C-alpha cells in the first residue's frame, strides 16, 4: 500500500503526534468523507506499507521524528508559495519554511524532498512578473536541496471563488500558462531543478515541463530499489497522473487557512475541528460513535524483494 499523508490536511504540520501514535498502534481509522458511518481500518505496519507520501506546508514538527520512519520508505512534498497572509493566513514566513525544507533535505536526501509551487494564481496585485521574481528567489534557496518542482494553476471552484472574493482574481488563460511555464522553466533550469505539472491538461512539453505524478510509482521504485506496476488512481481527477494510494487525512481540519484551499469549508471550521482533535484517537478527527461500519482495508503490496531489482 502507498499511504498519502495527506491531500486532505497537513498532518506533518499539525498532527505529527497523532501520526506517530498511529504508527505505534500499527493502524489508523479513516472515515469515508462521503459517508460518516463508513470507516476503514488501514494497517500502518512496516510489512504492509510500501511508501508514505507526506504533503506539508511546514515540515518543522516532523523533523525530530524522522528516526521513527527507519523501517519505512517515504518522501515529502513541501509547498512553498509566494503569497502573504492575506492568502495563506496561517502559514509561517517563507524564509522559515525554506530553512526547514533545507534541513529536511539534508536529513533524508534531496531526492525525497519535492518543492510544490502551487497553486499559481493571478490577481490585480499578483502578475506573471511577480511569479518570476519570487520563483527565482525560492529556487535559488532550494538549488542544492531538491531535484524537482511541481506546479499547478488555480482551479476556480465555486467555494474557491467565494473564499477569494476579496483578492480580485484574474482568469489564467492558456496563453498565461504558457508564458508562466516558459519563464519558470528557464529559471528552474539555471538551478538544475526539473518542473512537472500536477493534474493539468495543458501540454507544456515545449518548455521542458512534463505531466507529473504526485503519487509517483517511478520515484517510489527509485527509493525502494525495485520495480512494480501500480494502477492509476481512478478516484482522482481525469488529468491527475497519480497511482493508487490510500489517504489517511480528513477534510476541514487544516488550520493553515489558505483561502484557495478546496479541502476546507472555511478557516473557522477547520480551526474548531483542529482544537477538538485527540492525539490518542485512532481517527484524525472526532471519536467513534458506535453505530459505524468499520471495514478492514485489504493490504495491497506493490513492491517486494521478489521483484526485479533496479540497476
For residue range 118-171, list pLDDT tens digits in order. Answer: 999 999 999 999 999 999 999 999 999 999 999 999 987 777 778 888 898 999
Domain spans in the chain, listed from the N-terminal domain onward: 2-296
Place of cell 492575506: 86
Residue pLDDT, tens place only, 193-246: 999 999 999 999 999 999 999 999 999 999 999 888 899 999 898 889 999 999
- State the DSSP string of 116-147: EEEEE-EESS--HHHHHHHHHHHHHHHTTT-S
- pLDDT at position 265 is 75
The whole-chain average pLDDT of the chain stands at: 94
Distance CA 137, CA 122 (A): 18
Please give the share of the chain, as a percent, with pLDDT higher than 70.
97
CA distances to 153, 197, 261, 272 from 134, rounded to whole Å, are 16, 18, 21, 33
Judge residue 222's burial from the number of C-beta atoms within 10 Å of its C-beta, 0-12 exposed, 13-18 middle, 19 or more buried: middle
- In percent, the amount of the chain with pLDDT more than 90 equals 85
Amino acid at each position: 500500500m502507498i499511504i498519502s499523508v495527506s491531500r486532505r490536511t497537513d498532518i506533518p504540520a499539525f498532527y505529527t503526534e497523532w501520526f506517530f501514535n498511529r504508527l505505534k498502534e500499527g493502524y489508523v481509522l479513516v472515515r469515508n468523507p462521503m459517508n460518516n458511518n463508513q470507516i476503514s481500518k488501514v494497517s500502518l505496519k512496516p510489512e504492509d506499507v510500501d511508501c508514505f507520501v507526506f504533503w506539508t506546508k511546514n515540515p518543522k514538527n516532523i523533523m525530530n521524528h524522522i528516526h521513527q520512519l527507519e523501517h519505512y520508505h517515504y518522501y515529502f512534498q513541501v509547498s512553498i508559495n509566494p503569497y502573504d497572509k492575506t492568502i495563506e493566513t496561517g502559514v509561517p514566513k517563507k524564509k522559515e519554511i525554506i530553512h526547514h525544507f533545507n534541513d529536511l533535505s539534508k536529513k533524508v536526501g534531496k531526492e525525497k524532498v519535492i518543492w510544490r509551487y502551487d497553486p499559481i494564481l493571478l490577481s490585480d496585485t499578483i502578475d506573471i512578473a511577480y511569479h518570476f521574481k519570487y520563483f527565482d528567489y525560492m529556487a535559488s534557496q532550494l538549488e542544492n536541496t531538491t531535484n524537482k518542482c511541481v506546479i499547478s494553476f488555480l482551479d476556480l471552484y465555486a467555494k474557491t471563488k467565494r473564499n477569494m472574493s476579496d483578492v480580485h482574481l484574474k482568469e489564467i488563460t492558456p496563453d498565461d500558462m504558457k508564458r508562466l511555464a516558459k519563464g519558470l522553466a528557464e529559471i528552474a533550469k539555471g538551478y538544475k531543478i526539473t518542473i512537472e505539472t500536477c493534474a493539468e491538461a495543458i501540454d507544456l512539453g515545449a518548455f521542458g515541463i512534463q505531466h507529473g505524478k504526485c503519487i509517483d510509482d517511478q520515484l517510489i521504485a527509485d527509493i525502494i530499489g525495485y520495480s512494480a506496476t501500480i494502477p492509476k488512481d481512478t478516484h482522482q481527477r481525469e488529468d491527475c497522473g497519480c497511482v493508487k494510494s490510500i489517504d489517511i487525512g480528513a477534510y476541514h481540519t487544516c488550520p493553515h487557512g489558505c483561502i484557495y484551499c478546496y479541502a476546507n469549508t472555511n478557516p473557522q471550521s477547520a480551526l474548531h475541528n483542529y482544537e477538538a482533535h485527540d492525539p490518542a484517537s485512532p481517527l484524525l478527527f472526532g471519536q467513534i460513535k458506535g453505530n459505524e461500519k468499520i471495514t478492514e482495508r485489504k493490504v495491497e503490496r506493490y513492491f517486494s524483494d521478489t521483484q526485479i531489482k533496479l540497476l
